Structure 1
């Protein structure tokens, strides 16, 4: 059941606070710096404002899910800013670059106001509750800084309420990262141990998991090992690997203890149109955002071998004998998706509507804005939203336990500490009941790292982690200089070459040139370009450059 109280409290307050919002006298229609946060009720209300940026969306899609469409595994059809990023055409005026910066710094401002004014009521609140609420705000501030540093690099580190004339310079990323890790280390002692995924509130495991992620992204291996191992020690009682992988991304799975932190939505108050964004044309979606055809190549065969090495792989029946996560993650030709037969073969102009057992026109073939890649994302795109496709309230996951396990394994590998616990961490994910892939047994460091890269690609596809992975692995300059492809209309393109990291490459001879028929050649959906001297960071938004003479731009923008 959704936590209605949490959302409804949000609706009762309009705290968009900054230092310029309050006069020296006490206002009658707004909080006062001198009196607000003077008791527990006001503090519980006030901390909700710190969560506001988590409801950030990009053209309707929850903010964290949008990141994958700036990578090699996803494509944004509409010509918004997100469409331009993987084409190597980012500029300081792009909407997503401007909006994410502004929203995360708004969140930091809310947190700073809350943290710096809690002293008004400290003596009126139980110390346990006071410290918990303060730690929630400190966690959220650390979360926003973690996104800012990974997207933009050096960013201003601000921990106080600013004046309207403040013009802060950028702080080196390393210092901001140290601040994030220090904050998360300190607040763990004040947060509750119980993991309640439907509360939307911060528990110890969330702080430790974010610390582990931040440390991993910044090659602080021992910190990542320490933090993730503490979460692992809570396995069973607080955290699990969900048996049913597909359940995690549905309303029914929102209470799963694999979920460490998710963004809370509730109809009709807080909703997102993910069904409309991701759903097939036939089922009433727009397929604005879709997976690359190459993504399906990354899923191994059930013997644990890549498709270019497994004797089980049949290029004419490419979805047979594959890692079950393939069809849990993607709608593939020949499957049932949102109550319809999903088929992208050019001659399949009629398909079954299984909702009422009738034959209907196949818009994936006849509509000019069908999927293009031959695939759709299943994650977060659920039949229960079909009647109201613009108003889903499925909670998008920010952190789940599977990530912690792979963080632990990768950090141990990089630290040269390979032992059985590394294999156990990987195999817990591969052997979940609904997946049941062969166990990893190698102890070779390079092979294990390659396995981690492949596992993260298929386990988290569509969840918004791929951008940060290909950046930190310095893989973006390779995979984002390859075209994004769609399947042939009349057949399948054969067996691609797979590299050790789960990335596929097709011979130019099977890719259609502009204007060439795609019946028997792969569609060239998008040309990708990545400048390694520039594109590992987003530019600082032009609005910030104009407003702040102390702000500097990232290289080559």
Structure 2
């Protein structure tokens, strides 16, 4: 969002007062006392802004502390580094997953929860504030409390549910803060209760969209509730496939769908450009705003733009999230059938892997020879092929390890704002959409499948595929197999999520909640393509004329395509452990609190399935 980040801690922008600097000098807005905010909804909003700023998710959907969830933990790109990664190698230690919090800190999960609880308590005892304003403020804080607890529960199972600020002054008070773990079911119940309150009191839409962009709505609360209960119904938490859990998930996701559609939510027309319409984006449900500020107190720049562009000096790229060949092959053809499916009307060949693919392919994967207006050069072509064993990309320096780049949500000349400097993309303001309406549709489809409503699952899948641009076909099935079984539909939805949410931090968590990490990823290092210029039959002026050639001519006449294991990944093959479906409570947390019991898959007695 360009220079309009509403959740800033810049007090002046909230109050519009000349004396605001003095207030900032005297008051820690992250812990504003009840005496300061009592009865004052403006000051309370400033304190709430601190909660937003602490808890909004970052770009890519990875956990803000452990980093789990990014593309390196799935087949999207695999981990291509050479340093040890105990999670991938199956050697995770009791001290490795630190999100639980092992020290007194305002920035770990429980430090953030304490701030939220203090805010809720202070407002709840405030007798001066208008009740409607108070309920809306508390409801937003409750949303983020659910968000924080969900991040913990999906890692460990049940955790201590602290819903009021704790004060540990003196030995007895300190011992009173030692709280054992609630059951996983109790945690889910509390998160749902908090979100039900938020749904009750929050508006469907906020007035003044330009100043309230990113503020939590009734629909966002319902969508998070739907996501949380989908996890509760998934095999990670529901290995016995209890139908009532799927029914609860279905009810929640249907509620989210109904609330959102009643308030104008729908899929954005252009999948490739949905990230670049910010205020009033109909697909954005839960959003983190960024800006292009370069130095003032409102500065919050997105690292996605600079982190994913190629490492060319002219575009300030970091070359991150490089798509693997496995990810490239996962995309269906334009008729929705899998690549190589004999029933597809589009023939597939590794030599021309780019032809007639699901339109989301071109909007997500940048490949050798594609047109990519990533600079101010119209019709810019990306070339990553090899000549005599050396990549021609950037003279062989900092070339892609896989032959591909991720270009999802990267600005190009046709979508960039006038303020984006392509030579300094570190100041990108592209917003992160943590929950898109497309996810609500697919969450509903999956929940419907869980209770046997396959017709409803088909409906939502078709809507998502239609927006993508997949051919409807004469049967109107968008490439989907007719009369799928429940198991087949579950698999179709997971595959759809893999494509729709590629590089959005969803794939690792989907595989984990479905207990598929081992069967899908173990034994793999990831594969890549090496595209080489032929040694004979190539025009002498190829390097200067290639941009004018058709892609098919380039690939069929002058290039060879070889699929190989990504040898740059020098670590052992992936070896996810079955114990990873619930991570261990860190040893430090157990040492700090004698009432914390370790998970039963890590030597303790706590059952995370209860």
Structure 1 residues 6 and 451, CA gap change in structure 2 (3 angstroms) = same
| Stretches of structure 2 lacking an aligned partner (at least 5 in a row) | 14-24, 169-173, 234-244, 294-298, 413-419, 473-477, 534-560, 604-610
Structure 1 residues 221 and 37, CA gap change in structure 2 (3 angstroms) = farther
CA displacement at 1:314 relative to structure 2: 1.9
Deviation sequence 1:497-535 (CA, Å, 0-9, x none): xxxxxxxxxxxxxxxxxxxxx977332454443344322
SS at match of 1:6: coil
CA displacement at 1:189 relative to structure 2: 1.4
Decide whether the 8 Å contact of 2:61 with 2:69 is kept in 1: no
- Write out aligned runs for 1:135-534 (5 A): 135-164=139-168, 165=174, 166-194=177-205, 199-219=213-233, 220-233=245-258, 234-235=260-261, 237-250=263-276, 252-253=277-278, 255-268=280-293, 269-282=299-312, 283-309=315-341, 310=344, 311-337=346-372, 338-339=374-375, 340-347=380-387, 362-363=393-394, 366-367=396-397, 369-383=398-412, 384=420, 386-419=422-455, 421-432=456-467, 434-436=469-471, 438=478, 440=480, 442-444=482-484, 445-490=486-531, 521-526=564-569, 527-534=572-579
Kindly tell me the number of residue pairs found equivalent between the two proteins. 505
CA displacement at 1:373 relative to structure 2: 1.6
Structure 1 residues 350 and 67, CA gap change in structure 2 (3 angstroms) = closer
CA displacement at 1:237 relative to structure 2: 4.3
CA displacement at 1:413 relative to structure 2: 0.8
Measure the CA separation in 2 of the matches of 1:462 and 1:556: 31
Partner of 1:24: none
Structure 1 residues 5 and 362, CA gap change in structure 2 (3 angstroms) = closer
Q: Normalization by structure 1: what TM-score? A: 0.81
Q: Normalization by structure 2: what TM-score? A: 0.75
Decide whether the 8 Å contact of 1:485 with 1:525 is kept in 2: no
- Write out aligned runs for 1:59-208 (5 A): 63=64, 67-77=70-80, 84-94=86-96, 97=99, 103-121=108-126, 123-164=127-168, 165=174, 166-194=177-205, 199-208=213-222
Measure the CA separation in 2 of the matches of 1:556 and 1:37: 45
Structure 1 residues 528 and 106, CA gap change in structure 2 (3 angstroms) = farther
Decide whether the 8 Å contact of 1:86 with 1:480 is kept in 2: no
Partner of 2:42: 41
Structure 1 residues 34 and 490, CA gap change in structure 2 (3 angstroms) = closer
Mean Cα displacement is larger for which, 161-170 or 433-442?
Answer: 433-442
CA displacement at 1:125 relative to structure 2: 2.2
SS at match of 1:487: strand
CA displacement at 1:5 relative to structure 2: 6.2
Partner of 1:22: none
Measure the CA separation in 2 of the matches of 1:278 and 1:308: 30
Measure the CA separation in 1 of the matches of 2:250 and 2:325: 35
Structure 1 residues 348 and 393, CA gap change in structure 2 (3 angstroms) = farther
Decide whether the 8 Å contact of 1:98 with 1:543 is kept in 2: no
Deviation sequence 1:218-237 (CA, Å, 0-9, x none): 11222222222233334274
Structure 1 residues 454 and 460, CA gap change in structure 2 (3 angstroms) = same
Measure the CA separation in 2 of the matches of 1:61 and 1:479: 20
Deviation sequence 1:213-270 (CA, Å, 0-9, x none): 11111112222222222333342742011110011233x3564211101111123211
Decide whether the 8 Å contact of 2:523 with 2:575 is kept in 1: no
Structure 1 residues 348 and 392, CA gap change in structure 2 (3 angstroms) = farther
Partner of 2:550: none
Structure 1 residues 347 and 89, CA gap change in structure 2 (3 angstroms) = farther
Decide whether the 8 Å contact of 1:40 with 1:124 is kept in 2: no
Structure 1 residues 478 and 48, CA gap change in structure 2 (3 angstroms) = same
Measure the CA separation in 2 of the matches of 1:92 and 1:255: 44
Structure 1 residues 79 and 204, CA gap change in structure 2 (3 angstroms) = farther
Partner of 2:553: none
Deviation sequence 1:260-305 (CA, Å, 0-9, x none): 0111112321113222321112343122432322111111111221
Structure 1 residues 46 and 348, CA gap change in structure 2 (3 angstroms) = farther
Decide whether the 8 Å contact of 1:169 with 1:550 is kept in 2: yes
